[in-house]
Amino acid sequence: MALTCQELIAIFGDYHSGSLAVDLAVLAELHLLGCLECADYLKSYEETIRLSKIAFASLDDGVPENVARAILQKQTGT
Ligand SMILES: [Zn+2]
């Protein structure tokens, strides 16, 4: 039984994180091989995850020093 595009999208998060049952993962792979639209969707999905990881990683760096100083100056107000 082949997956439809909608069925694939529904299990996409699990497929991508690798938590899908093996037989379903195989069906997903087969669908992606034969369906350009879903293959494109996979690409943009991975790109979104990559970008959000970068965004979160830069949050970990904390507030840049010059920004922190500007906020402090506003708060003390002169
Ligand atoms: Zn498809």
| pTM check: above 0.75 | no
Q: Per-residue pLDDT tens for 6-17?
A: 999 999 999 989
Spacing, Cα 5 to ligand 1 middle (Å): 4
pLDDT confidence band for 39 (50 / 70 / 90) = very high
Residue 30 sits at the vertex; the CA angle it makes with 26 and 35, to the nearest 5 degrees, is 145
* Residues 40 and 12 sit within 8 Å (Cβ to Cβ): no
Q: Is the pLDDT of residue 55 over 90?
A: no
Spacing, Cα 56 to ligand 1 middle (Å): 30
Spacing, Cα 36 to ligand 1 middle (Å): 7
Residues with Cβ within 8 Å of 20's Cβ and at least 6 positions away in sequence, in order, are 11, 14, 28
pLDDT confidence band for 78 (50 / 70 / 90) = low
